[in-house]
């Protein structure tokens, strides 16, 4: 299992269809599962992808349209029956926490796990932090308040060069300081530069989730420098007017955000049910990236069951 894996559980929009279920993703980060949005069918998709309920720690809800959160009642009910223990935190707007709390209290009267709500707003803020990762919100531009999320791996520790630390007899107690970049001072006062004892840390990866939203340069600005961007591509250019009326983006606009942000990888999703397949979405995004000097950018169509190893973007 990779350190930082993106799992697509659902990538449809509005209502489930026979091709796509509504939006849900799971970031598998060093064995912790962080769910992003939770459309109906998310819990069954977790089973299909063999993502264990007991590893689920956080659920991030971008906005309170049904196709992004109506899998929560069933998922919470299953967590209550599974006796998973631990704490699950739902990050959502205040009104979402209120209604979801009522549903949980009614349908999950007996449960062994602790449900917490973290009230978030559609603004730039760090809403989650642990020793290896932060999660940030940033505003999206949809028909209702909506937020994106950026998952950032924290800077990592440098790698010890075993032969060198042995040669200088570096005591075990000093190792952590070396990994953090400190020089080593020998018993006779010589300074051994850190760069002789360690090699550079692995680059940290970042992932931004942008759904649902109109194209907006402020989105590109917010996700600038992020390695991997998921951006909704509900429509294709031929349906741009419909897209904009409904607060959505086209595949070309998704690519524009990724190009402007300088992403290495773009993932498209949240497809309208009106398309028989998403070949045109991919072709449009590819053409935009190529035309803007980014033929190196990887572009993927989200699909149920797709699992992407984001560490390949290091």
Residue 76 to residue 51: CA distance in whole angstroms: 15
Contact pick of 18, 173, 191, 200 for a copy of itself (by CB under 8 A): 18
- Give CA 162 to chain center in angstroms: 35
Give the count of beta carbons closer than 10 Å to the beta carbon of residue 141. 15
Kindly state whether residue 16 participates in binding a copy of itself, applying the rule CB under 8 A. Answer: yes
For residues 174 to 203, the per-residue mask of contacts with a copy of itself, x marking binding by CB under 8 A and - elsewhere, is ------------------------------
Q: Is the peptide bond before 212 cis (omega within 30 degrees of 0)?
A: yes
Give the count of beta carbons closer than 10 Å to the beta carbon of residue 149. 27
Query: In this structure, are residues 135 and 126 in contact, taking their beta carbons and an 8 Å threshold?
Result: yes
Residue 54: CB minimum distance to a copy of itself, A: 14
Contact pick of 5, 8, 35, 41 for a copy of itself (by CB under 8 A): 41
Query: In this structure, are residues 90 and 119 in contact, taking their beta carbons and an 8 Å threshold?
Result: no
Residue 41: CB minimum distance to a copy of itself, A: 6
Contact pick of 48, 154, 196, 314 for a copy of itself (by CB under 8 A): 48
Residues in 98-157 at the binding interface with a copy of itself, rule: CB under 8 A: 99, 102-103, 106-108
Kindly state whether residue 78 participates in binding a copy of itself, applying the rule CB under 8 A. Answer: yes
The single residue listed with the structure tokens 């360690």 is 198
Q: Map residue 17 onto helix, strand or coil.
A: coil
Residue 71: CB minimum distance to a copy of itself, A: 8
Residue 122: CB minimum distance to a copy of itself, A: 18
What SS3 string covers 170-214? CCHHHHHHHHCCCCEECCCCCEECHHHHEECCCCCCEEEEECCCC
Q: Which is nearer to a copy of itself, 168 or 275 (CB)?
A: 275
Known catalytic residues are 67
List residues binding a copy of itself (CB under 8 A): 14-18, 21, 40-41, 43-44, 47-48, 64-67, 70-71, 73-74, 77-78, 81-82, 95, 99, 102-103, 106-108
């Amino acid at each position: 299992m990779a350190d930082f894996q993106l799992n697509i559980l659902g990538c449809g929009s509005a209502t489930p269809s026979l091709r796509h279920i509504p939006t849900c993703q799971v970031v598998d980060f060093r064995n912790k599962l962080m769910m992003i949005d939770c459309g109906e069918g998310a819990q069954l998709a977790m089973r299909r992808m063999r993502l264990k309920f007991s590893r689920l720690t956080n659920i991030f809800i971008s906005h309170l349209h049904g196709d992004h959160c109506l899998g929560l009642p069933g998922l919470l009910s299953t967590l209550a029956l599974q006796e998973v223990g631990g704490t699950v935190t739902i990050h959502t707007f205040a009104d979402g926490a209120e209604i979801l709390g009522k549903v949980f209290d009614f349908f999950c009267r007996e449960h062994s796990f602790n449900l917490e709500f973290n009230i978030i707003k559609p603004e730039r803020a760090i809403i989650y932090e642990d020793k290896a990762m932060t999660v940030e919100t940033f505003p999206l531009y949809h028909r209702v308040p909506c937020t994106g999320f950026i998952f950032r791996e924290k800077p990592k520790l440098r790698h010890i060069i075993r032969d060198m630390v042995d040669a200088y007899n570096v005591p075990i107690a000093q190792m952590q300081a070396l990994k953090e970049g400190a020089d080593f001072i020998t018993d006779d006062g010589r300074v051994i530069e850190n760069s002789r004892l360690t090699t550079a840390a692995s680059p940290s990866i970042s992932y931004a989730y942008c759904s649902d939203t109109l194209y907006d340069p402020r989105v590109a600005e917010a996700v600038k420098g992020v390695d991997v961007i998921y951006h909704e591509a509900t429509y294709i250019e031929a349906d741009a007017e419909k897209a904009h009326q409904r607060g959505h983006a086209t595949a070309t606009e998704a690519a524009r955000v990724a190009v402007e942000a300088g992403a290495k990888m773009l993932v498209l999703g949240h497809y309208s049910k009106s398309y028989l397949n998403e070949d045109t979405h991919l072709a449009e995004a590819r053409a935009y990236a190529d035309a803007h000097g980014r033929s190196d950018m990887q572009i993927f169509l989200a699909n149920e069951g797709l699992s992407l190893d984001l560490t390949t973007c290091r």
